[in-house]
Structure 1
Amino acid sequence: MEDILREIGSISRMLESIANIEFKEIQLSKGQYIYLVRIFENEGIIPERLAELIKVDRTTLSRAVKKLEENGFILKESDKENKKIKHLYTTIKGKQAVQLIIRENNYSNKVAIQQLSALERKNFAEMLAKIKSSVEIDWVNVKNGIKRDY
């Protein structure tokens, strides 16, 4: 059996390494750009929903959100009805950073698929969606305490 996940992991680590180097100049470190873009795309999102969207635990999310807030990329606002609920918003600085991140993402996508035909790109996108769906089912089960039988 082909070790597809090894290749996906390798691609992911290379792209993350590139992004971490390129985004260092705007004070975004280790993967924070993912959180920032998702907040930008979902202004007012609550942390629990953001954690589900990015597929991380709350502790990891909390650290990243705190750092983004400290560096002026996002701000937290209490819910008008329930002060315990916090909504996340991008600041002007955050919105400017997102524009750079989106340009980098588009460029990386273009480079990554440059050797694929239009049909191969379409098929690959469909296959990746299926892989993600399968892994997501497992991820949800494990997060809910279900032990995998391998």
Structure 2
Amino acid sequence: MNEILREIGMIARALDSISNIEFKEFDLTKGQYLYLVRICENPGIIQEKLAELIKVDRTTAARAIRNLEINGFIEKRDDELNKKINRLFPTEKGIRVFPIIKRENVHSNSVALAGFSESETETIFHLLQRVRKNVEVDWEFVKKGNKRVY
């Protein structure tokens, strides 16, 4: 059997490593750019939903959010109806960096998909969406404290 997940992992780690190096000049480290992008795309998102979007545990998300807040990229605001909920918003600094991160994403996509036709690109996208949806089922299952049967 082809090692599809190994290939996906190598691609993800290589692109993450590149981004971490390139975004270091903006004081964005260790994948924080992922969080900032989602917050810019979804202003007012709550931490739990953000963790779900990125597919990380709440502790990992909390650490990244705290660092983004300390470095002035985002701010927390109380929810108007439920004061226990904090909503996340980009600051001016975060909004200024957002287009640079998006530009890097466009570039990485074009590099990764160089030589593929539009049809092949669409096929890859749809197949990877199906893979993600399959994995999400196990992710949700394990996240709730269950064990997978091998």
Give your verdict on TM over 0.5: yes
- 1:49-64 superposed matches below 5 A: 49-64=49-64
RMSD: 0.8
Q: What is the CA–CA distance in structure 2 between the aligned matches of 1:75 and 1:114, rounded to whole Å?
A: 38
1:67 pairs with 2:33: no
The CA distance in 1 between the partners of 2:82 and 2:8, in whole Å, is 41
Instruction: Tell whether 2:19 aligns with 1:19.
Output: yes
The aligned residue for residue 76 of structure 1 is 76
* 4+ residue runs over 2 A deviation: none
Q: TM-score, normalised by structure 1?
A: 0.97
Whether 1:102 and 2:109 are equivalent positions in the alignment is: no
1:4-46: CA deviation from partner (whole Å, max 9, x where unpaired): 0000000011101100010000100010000000000110011
Deviation at 1:80, TM superposition (A): 2.1
In the TM superposition, what whole-angstrom CA distance separates every residue of 1:91-150 from its partner, at most 9, and x where no partner exists? Answer: 010011111000000000000001211111111111101100101111111111221111
How many residues are paired up? Answer: 150
Q: Which amino acid is the alignment partner of residue 47 of structure 1?
A: Q
Equivalent residue, structure 1, for 2:137: 137
2:23 aligned counterpart, secondary structure? helix
- Distance in 2 (CA, whole Å) between partners of 1:77 and 1:37 is 18
Structure 2 residue aligned with 1:117: 117
Mapping 1:82-93, distance limit 5 Å: 82-93=82-93
TM-score, normalised by the number of residues in structure 2: 0.97
Measured after TM superposition, the shift of residue 81 of structure 1 is 2.5
One-letter identity of the residue aligned with 1:120: E
Question: What letter is aligned with 2:16?
Answer: E
Percent of aligned positions that are identical: 56
CA distance in 1, matches of 2:9, 2:141: 21
Counterparts of 1:85 and 1:149, CA distance in 2:
36
CA distance in 2, matches of 1:3, 1:24: 32
1:38 maps to amino acid: R
Q: For residue 56 of structure 1, what is the amino acid of its counterpart?
A: V
Structure 1 residues not aligned, in runs of 5+: none
